[in-house]
């Protein structure tokens, strides 16, 4: 074996390839230049393939890449050997390099034929784009479904909160109405007795003064009882066709007087609003209660805006055509905890003696009893906005 290799590599009896070209310079240097360029190109390609294989370990054809690396390097070496043998007759070494190149070429070709069916099954760029588009569509559909599910869940929680609030208000209203009704009967008896005592008391000034004080206190208690009945939606109403804009304009001087120097009144009344069938006095009282709350919410000088416009709102699952009255102020606003209890009877954030806690309760009960709806929006430092929706009427 060693003798065969020695004989193969021996070049003592051989002549360089340049003799065949008669050492003609134009032939020699054309051969050298061409083989050098081809060899250098062959040597650069394996480095590119090796760099790609190193940077893309996820690529699934590494064996073929490394076979190409070896095969192309061997091909480049044969071209450099062609230059070498122009002057040095090392044809045995050139033969060994060509043999190695042959082995690598067969291995590369075998792997390529083996991978051909796999490569043919690989998706084309158009198929990949279609698959990506379909995947993006599925992702969007899933995101839309999750968004719809999240919204439905939020709506369900909101409906449950509204149901619990309605049940709470209904229970508190029933209790308040029962207490107010019985208390109103007692106050009626007390006032009648005080009136009888005043008529029979003679001219005693001390007794007359005491009776007046007791009567005034009983009348204030009766007024509170009426507010409780309003919250419980059990107060007697005297509905009539009321032109909302006219009522607000007539009430404006009294509202300005209540606001005083601390507040400015702005009216934004839509002339297209319809009349409502409602108790005029109770509506005026509700607006005055909201005015008092707005004034008390002003930390300094503020603005109270009363707006009216036509509206369609939902009531008992039906769409109702109505008139909306919005009372907005630029006061201190309410926290979430205060908003949750704003309509509860006797709940107040004012100091002791400065509020009964029945103002918003009266407004809430009166609006509900009149077939309307009421909404409260408020944020600390950004004021409060109370919207009252009342159904319009065709009654004369």
| Claim to verify: residue 248 and residue 383 sit in the same structural domain | yes
Q: pLDDT value at position 396? A: 41
Could you say which of 68, 86, 121 is where a domain stops? 121
Q: pLDDT value at position 163? A: 62
CA distances from 205 to 139, 215, 218, 348, 370 (A): 88, 15, 20, 38, 46
Range of the domain at 268: 237-391
Q: Distance between terminal CA atoms of the chain?
A: 126
The two structure tokens encoding residue 257: 């007087």
In whole angstroms, give the CA distance from residue 181 to residue 186.
Answer: 9
Q: Residue 271 belongs to a domain with what CATH number?
A: 3.30.565.10
Q: pLDDT value at position 153? A: 84
SS3 for the chain, per residue?
Answer: CHHHHHHHHCCCCCCCHHHCCCCCHHHHHHHHHHHHHHHHHHHHHHHHHHHHHHHCCCCCCHHHHHHHHHHHHHHHHHHHHHHHCCCCCCHHHHHHHHHHHHHHHHHHHHHHHHHHHHHHHCCCHHHHHHHHHHHHHHHHHHHHHHHHHHHHHHHHHHHHHHHHHHHHHHHHHHHHHHHHHHHHHHHHHHHHHHHHHHHHCCCCHHHHHHHHHHHHHHHHHHHHHHHHHHHCCCCCCCEEEECHHHHHHHHHHHHHHHHHHHEEEEEEECCCCCCEEEEHHHHHHHHHHHHHHHHHHCCCCEEEEEEEEEEEEEECCEEEEEEEEEEEECCCCCCHHHHHCCCCCCCCCCCCCCCCCCHHHHHHHHHHHCCCEEEEEECCCCCEEEEEEEEECCCC
Q: pLDDT value at position 233? A: 47
**How far is C-alpha 136 from the geometric centre of its chain's CA atoms?**
22
Q: Is 193 inside a domain boundary?
A: no
Q: Is 275 inside a domain boundary?
A: yes
Contact 288, 256 (CB under 8 A): no
Pairing of strands 318-329, 373-378: unpaired
Contact 366, 286 (CB under 8 A): yes
In whole angstroms, give the CA distance from residue 276 to residue 282.
Answer: 13
Structural domains of the chain, count: 2
Contact 376, 242 (CB under 8 A): no
Q: Is 321 inside a domain boundary?
A: yes
Q: Is 153 inside a domain boundary?
A: no
Q: Is 54 inside a domain boundary?
A: yes
Q: pLDDT value at position 5? A: 59
Nearest CA among 296, 285, 160, 293 for reference residue 231: 285
Q: Write out the chain's pLDDT in tens, 396 residues.
A: 565 656 556 666 677 877 877 788 888 888 889 989 988 988 888 888 888 888 887 776 777 888 888 888 888 888 888 888 888 888 878 888 888 888 888 888 888 888 778 777 777 778 888 888 888 888 898 988 888 888 888 877 776 766 665 656 555 555 555 555 555 666 666 767 667 666 666 566 666 666 677 766 666 666 566 655 554 445 566 788 889 899 989 888 888 888 888 788 889 999 888 888 888 888 888 888 888 888 888 877 888 899 999 988 887 778 888 889 999 888 888 888 877 777 776 666 666 545 555 667 778 877 888 888 888 888 888 888 989 898 887 544
Could you say which of 94, 121, 148 is where a domain stops? 121
In whole angstroms, give the CA distance from residue 32 to residue 111.
Answer: 33
Q: pLDDT value at position 83? A: 86
Q: pLDDT value at position 37? A: 92
In whole angstroms, give the CA distance from residue 197 to residue 192.
Answer: 9
- What is the torsion angle, in degrees rounded to the nearest 10, for the CA atoms of residue 357, residue 363, residue 369 and residue 372? -140
Could you say which of 121, 145, 177 is where a domain stops? 121
Residue with tokens 């040597």: 43
**How far is C-alpha 278 from the geometric centre of its chain's CA atoms?**
39
Q: Which residues pair with 307 in a beta bridge?
A: 268, 326
Q: Is 242 inside a domain boundary?
A: yes
């Amino acid at each position: 074996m060693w003798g065969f290799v020695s004989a193969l590599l021996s070049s003592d009896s051989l002549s360089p390839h340049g003799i065949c070209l008669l050492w003609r310079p134009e032939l020699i240097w054309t051969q050298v230049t061409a083989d050098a360029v081809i060899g250098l190109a062959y040597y650069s390609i394996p480095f590119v393939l090796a760099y790609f294989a190193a940077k893309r370990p996820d690529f699934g054809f590494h064996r073929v890449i490394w076979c190409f690396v070896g095969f192309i390097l061997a091909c480049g070496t044969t071209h450099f050997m062609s230059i070498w043998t122009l002057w040095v007759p090392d044809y045995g070494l050139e033969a060994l390099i060509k043999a190695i190149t042959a082995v690598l070429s067969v291995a590369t070709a075998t792997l390529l034929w083996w991978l051909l069916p796999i490569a043919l099954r690989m998706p084309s760029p158009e198929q990949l784009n279609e698959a990506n588009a379909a995947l993006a569509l599925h992702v969007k559909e899933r995101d839309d479904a999750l968004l719809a599910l999240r919204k439905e869940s939020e709506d369900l929680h909101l409906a449950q909160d509204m149901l619990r609030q309605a049940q709470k208000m209904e229970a508190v209203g029933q209790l308040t109405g029962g207490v107010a009704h019985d208390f109103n009967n007692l106050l009626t008896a007390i006032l009648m007795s005080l009136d009888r005592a005043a008529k029979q008391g003679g001219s005693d000034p001390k007794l007359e003064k005491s009776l007046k004080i007791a009567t005034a206190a009983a009348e204030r208690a009766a007024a509170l009882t009426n507010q409780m009945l309003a919250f419980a939606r059990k107060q007697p109403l005297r509905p009539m066709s009321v032109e909302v804009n006219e009522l607000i304009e007539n009430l404006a001087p009294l509202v300005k007087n209540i606001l005083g120097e601390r507040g400015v009144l702005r009216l934004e009344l839509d002339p297209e609003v319809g009349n409502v069938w409602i108790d005029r006095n109770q509506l005026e009282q509700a607006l005055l209660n909201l005015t008092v709350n707005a004034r008390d919410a002003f930390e300094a000088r503020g603005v109270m805006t009363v707006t009216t416009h036509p509206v369609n709102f939902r009531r008992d699952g039906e769409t109702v055509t109505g008139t909306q009255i919005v009372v907005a102020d630029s006061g201190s606003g309410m926290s979430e905890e205060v908003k949750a209890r704003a309509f509860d009877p006797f709940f107040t954030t004012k100091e002791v003696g400065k509020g009964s806690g029945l103002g918003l309760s009266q407004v809430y009960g009166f609006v509900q009893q009149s077939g309307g709806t009421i909404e409260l929006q408020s944020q600390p430092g950004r004021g409060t906005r109370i919207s009252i929706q009342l159904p319009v009427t065709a009654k004369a």
